[in-house]
Structure 1
Amino acid sequence: MSEYPPDVVAHHASGTWTAETIAAMVARNDPDRVAFIAPEGTFTWGEYDVLSSRLAQSYVDAGFAPGDRLAVLLTGGALTHVAYLAAQKAGLVTVGIGPRAGDAEIVHLLAKTGAVGLATRWSHRGRPGAEIAARCGAPRHVPLDLASLPAAGHPGPGLGADDLFFVNSTSGTTGLPKCVRQTMNNRKYFGPLAHAAGRFGPDEVFASVLPAPYGFGLWSAHVVPAMYGYPTVLTAEFDAAETLRLIEEHRVTVLCAVTAQFIMLLNSPAFATTDLSSLRVMFTGGERVPVERAREFEERTGCAVLQFYGSNEAGPLSVTTVDDPRTARLTTAGRPIPGARLRLLADGADVTAAGGPGQVAASGPGCTPGYLDDDAANAALFRPDGWLLTGDVATIDGGGYLSITGRIADFIIRGGHNVSALVVEEAVGGHPSVAQTAVVAVPDPVLGERVCAYVVTRDELTLDALRVHLDAAGVSKQNWPEYLVALPSLPLGTGGKVDKAALRADAARRFTA
């Protein structure tokens, strides 16, 4: 308990946190009802429970010990959740790696977390899993194959609800990703909130088309469906036409997708001819939700577009609900969640009562215990009084609705993923032709923002040549620029720093209609 914020005892006393684990939730569901409709097939709750126990036994047989950290690199599907649950049953901590991570990111996460191995399918996105493990320096490769599991399952008891059970990464401003610690109770906190916001009934059908290791994907596919016994439709990787087909075929009622994904659904030619009448609710976010596209989605499907505002570190801080007026639902981040203990801070003073603007800070049940083995990052994340700082600037109106007005950190939010401008700058700056670089966001109608690199070069450099260099360096594709502009010099502001505001304005003029 000493690792957690000081109000942990209060979370348990109020019933916000409980001792129930994800494994216990899976085991109490009707074993004959469907848990996952996935690329590998359809799995019942009973099959999910048994397969995860058998995989847990294989971890034990392989010599892994309780407390070990096991990195898992998988595309979406049922195997992802079987692997996560098996680790929990064997007492292992899962290090979730995004399916599109480059080798440099994998190397960093393996080293930072002290992972004892890298678990993959035999082949991951066209590359042998063993080759990825060897190239990235994993202590061992753990091939995941449901067809070759021990006959008997591991009896547990496994990890508890307050134990560290998952480590996922988040974009940082100091270079490579930081590692965020998660407990089951942190992620379970979303369940009752989502249930109330969407007014869930007993027969909902979920579809989560998000990468599973990140916060949104974790609660929407791994935790909340298990909490309520809902079947969940999964995809290997997002494809708009395939997602639309699955929604129609399986009569999905609750869709979970980042903003860029639902815009891609709207833009798909199949959208007009697909029966989406089953949809009641779509949870979206991860970036600014464009009002007109959200309104269009509601009008064309009849479902309510909802969002949680929060972060991987802070958990849910505010939420829109089906009972909110459409204007509030689509133009704000909803009302603050009382238990999240949200505050607005400006120059160290609490300006919440005045409605801000101020930086959002929180201290509640969804907050991470902190970054893994990173004192400097934790000192920046938490104030001395234990309040977590989000880096977002917000206001609260007279109706109690929160609106995000800016960001303190230098991030580009592309398709729901936080891309650190500094990370891209460091990668681009590693090219021998680049003398100086600055990275900014370009507004985009589908992805929200795209990445533009301004460079001062020593000799001619094309975007294609730069991408060849980044690929060879193992830089994750999410950290590749999509636009490249060469200038004789970068503009400077009055303080002598690069004037990124001028570059953003220039990029908007160049690349947006």
Structure 2
Amino acid sequence: MASPTRLAEENIRDYLSRGIWQTMSLSDYWDRNASRIPQAIAVTDGKRNISWAEAKVWTDRVALALIHLGLDRDDVVVLQLPNSVELPLLRVACEKAGALSLPVPRTLRQSEMRYCLRYTEAKAVVVPRRYRDFDHFGMVRELQTDLPHLRSLVVVGEEAPLGALSLDEMASDPWEKKVSPLLSRERRYKASEVSLINATTGSTGLPKFSEYTAAARLLYGRGYIDVFGLGDTDVLAALSPAAAGPNIPVYFAAPQLGAKTALLSYFEAEAAFELIQREKVTLACLVPAQLALMVAHPHARRYDLSSVRFWLSVGAPLPSNLAREAEEKLGGIVLNCYGAVDWGGVVFTSPFDPPEVRYFTVGRPHAGTEVRLVNEAGNPVGVGEIGEMQGRGPACSSGYYKDSEATSRAWTRDGWLPLGDLAQWNSGGNLVVVGRKHDLIIRGGQNIAPSEIENYLLAHPKVKQAAVIGMPDPVYGERVCAYVVPRGDEPPILEEILSFLRSKKIAPYKFPERLEVTDSLPMISDTKVNKRILVEDITVKLTQDV
């Protein structure tokens, strides 16, 4: 399995010979830092500070413990943890043990976890005993009864309940005296081997699992280093709980620099402010919803946020007005990034871009990434024309784990992956994403990109969150419906929304013809709205209206 699914050996040799991929793996960088700057802090979560030297001992011992537990090379270890020092350390330990690490969202419950554990045939899973009043240990114990391959349940903390192992004990036990360290050195993944798996999220069906080499992920991290001008004195913070996406710089840029990382275990705006002030964060990685909460917080000015050079927004469309307001209220430069878990290409704006580029585009491809826009016939479109995004490059995923057929269906023979997003190139060579291909609303033959209207709605003073969908219509095919979460106690009414949109001088056919006010939007993940549920909801309501 260590060989990438869709990359031939000659592709790998080419990347390595041209220096596009590095021979150093993720764990090599961690060990190098332990040698060069042993006492410097590698990672903190506000409760524990771990130096590079301590990280080496920790990861070496946990790697040997995993081998002692009977994990074979290429076995899967599922990590369901909040942001904590253990999360990056476990990734490194798994790489040293020759085990595939699969971090999954802490919000998954029995149904999704059963699928993840069964599909990957995971041999071990690491969870907190309890987190925010949910019994993760109890959930996995219940699932274990019909998952015979799941041999080891590891719980974070000093004490483990009956039926579990303590991760702290694994990390403190001198395994090097019981198990030959040669085993770890022999099994350790090379940078060009698959060592990481990320779970995709989707509005329908069950997740797929995208495989990555450390070389591909480190190349992505190098893209941030080069374009942002990051160095070893920077402090990179993961404010989002994402296992990849917003936190790529934290996991894959910081170790290359020997820079400190700070992890926020649970997001609240004031907790984020406190972390930034305490750790003097220079690069804050987050999703637009988190940035919006920080901008709207009444106590933001009480905190010293002057250390922040950049706010990196990833995972969902970034409204232009939010980016502008964040820079005005919080300081620093807001940078926008486009990405997809099962793609892995590198596209983002630069600190040197003018505001109009940073606010209204996702920037340009970097680190060898290629992007093309094609029409329905598969032909490239011109500047200013809308086409479906396709991407490829050396930082990308090497396919779907244990699913060569899905990999063959998804990628073209020459390596292009259709991304399902519609975009256009502007005259400056930057990408403007206009929405999902399947989210596109076709009203009487006229195309409407929901993201455009959502961005306008989010600028309305009474709107906190917005999602625009097409509702079925017997005459026009679809009409526009907007779901909004109000910002305060007084919700907006449709006429206020229409008046606001008229002031923006956009085409009237794009206006919402129905407004649904709700307390919250259904979410697929921390960043994506489940529009399928909204379409089902409005369809039922239309039927009831009749």
Band the TM-score falls in, shorter-chain normalisation = 0.7 to 0.9
Q: Does 1:15 align with 2:19?
A: yes
1:393–1:405: 8 Å Cα contact kept in structure 2?
A: yes
Q: Does 1:100 align with 2:80?
A: no
The answer for the alignment partner of 2:258 in structure 1 is 229
Equivalent residue for 2:173, pick from 131, 147, 150: 150
Amino acid at match of 1:17: W
Displacement after TM superposition at 1:349 (Å): 3.3
The answer for the alignment partner of 2:196 in structure 1 is 166
Once the two structures are superposed, what CA deviation does each residue of 1:38-79 show, in whole Å capped at 9, x if it has no partner? 143111111111111111111112111211111111111101
C-alpha distance in structure 2 between counterparts of 1:486 and 1:202, whole Å: 50
Q: Does 1:296 align with 2:325?
A: yes
1:208–1:233: 8 Å Cα contact kept in structure 2?
A: yes
Displacement after TM superposition at 1:258 (Å): 0.8
Displacement after TM superposition at 1:491 (Å): 6.0
C-alpha spacing 1:389/1:270, structure 2 compared with 1 (3 Å): same
C-alpha distance in structure 2 between counterparts of 1:371 and 1:53, whole Å: 29
C-alpha distance in structure 2 between counterparts of 1:300 and 1:231, whole Å: 26
1:317–1:362: 8 Å Cα contact kept in structure 2?
A: no
Q: Does 1:373 align with 2:414?
A: no
C-alpha distance in structure 2 between counterparts of 1:81 and 1:245, whole Å: 22
Report matched runs for 1:254-273 at 5 Å: 254-273=283-302
The answer for the alignment partner of 1:454 in structure 2 is none
Unaligned 5+ runs, structure 1: 415-420, 422-439, 447-462, 493-502, 507-513
C-alpha distance in structure 1 between counterparts of 2:197 and 2:376, whole Å: 32
C-alpha distance in structure 1 between counterparts of 2:539 and 2:271, whole Å: 46
Equivalent residue for 1:399, pick from 409, 428, 434: 428
Equivalent residue for 1:442, pick from 483, 496, 518: 483
Unaligned 5+ runs, structure 2: 157-166, 441-449, 455-467, 469-480, 488-517
Displacement after TM superposition at 1:128 (Å): 4.2
C-alpha spacing 1:167/1:2, structure 2 compared with 1 (3 Å): closer
2:4–2:398: 8 Å Cα contact kept in structure 1?
A: no
Amino acid at match of 1:21: S
Q: TM-score of the superposition, structure 1-length normalised?
A: 0.79
Once the two structures are superposed, what CA deviation does each residue of 1:357-403 show, in whole Å capped at 9, x if it has no partner? 21111120121111122345324421233211111111111211110
2:399–2:407: 8 Å Cα contact kept in structure 1?
A: yes
The answer for the alignment partner of 2:50 in structure 1 is 43
Equivalent residue for 1:85, pick from 70, 82, 92: 92
The answer for the alignment partner of 2:5 in structure 1 is 3
C-alpha spacing 1:124/1:191, structure 2 compared with 1 (3 Å): same
2:383–2:426: 8 Å Cα contact kept in structure 1?
A: no
Q: Does 1:73 align with 2:80?
A: yes
Which has the higher relative contact order, 1 or 2, with Cα contacts under 8 A spaced 6 or more apart? 1
Displacement after TM superposition at 1:129 (Å): 4.0
Amino acid at match of 1:191: G
Amino acid at match of 1:307: N
C-alpha distance in structure 2 between counterparts of 1:398 and 1:348, whole Å: 23
SS at match of 2:334: strand
Structure 1: 4+ residue segments shifted above 6 A:
411-414, 475-488
Max radius of gyration: which structure? 2
Equivalent residue for 2:240, pick from 190, 195, 210: 210
C-alpha spacing 1:372/1:174, structure 2 compared with 1 (3 Å): farther
The alignment's C-alpha RMSD in Å is 3.3
C-alpha spacing 1:125/1:166, structure 2 compared with 1 (3 Å): farther
C-alpha distance in structure 2 between counterparts of 1:151 and 1:486, whole Å: 57
Q: TM-score of the superposition, structure 2-length normalised?
A: 0.74
1:5–1:386: 8 Å Cα contact kept in structure 2?
A: no
SS at match of 2:339: strand
